[in-house]
Amino acid sequence: MNNLINFFKILSDDTRLRILVLLYHKKLCVCQMCGIMEESQPKVSKHLGKLRDMGFVKDERQEQFVFYDLNLQDEALKEILKRIVDNKDNYPILEADIEKIKGVEKYLETCKG
């Protein structure tokens, strides 16, 4: 039960919700998420830390980048997130974030140089 309550607490913040929706679609690094969401690196990193500490995302180092991926083991939590994504057209900011994933590689290039 605590996992479900914690998940709803996580979803109550728009930045964390946007991060989870992005990671539902693709493994991303911080700079890619910052570019897509047009948010600062410290803000995104702070929220990713909370998501990681609660076990909802995992990280993996690849060269100089740390990539994040969803770590939802609970089927109910996966279904909740899926329903949000399936109804993205009701949430313009989520829809815009998802659309920007198509050009995600350009954000990685900005981190390199």
32-74: pLDDT as tens digits: 999 999 999 999 999 999 999 999 999 999 888 899 999 988 8
Domain locations along the chain: 2-112
H helix or E strand, kind and range, residue 70: strand 65-70
Angle at CA of residue 66, ends 92 and 93, nearest 5°: 5
Class of domain 2-112: mainly alpha
Dist CA 56 CA 92 (whole Å)? 24
pTM for the full predicted model:
0.91
Q: Angle 75-86/92-100 helices, nearest 10 degrees?
A: 100
Are 57 and 68 in contact by the 8 Å Cβ rule? The answer is yes
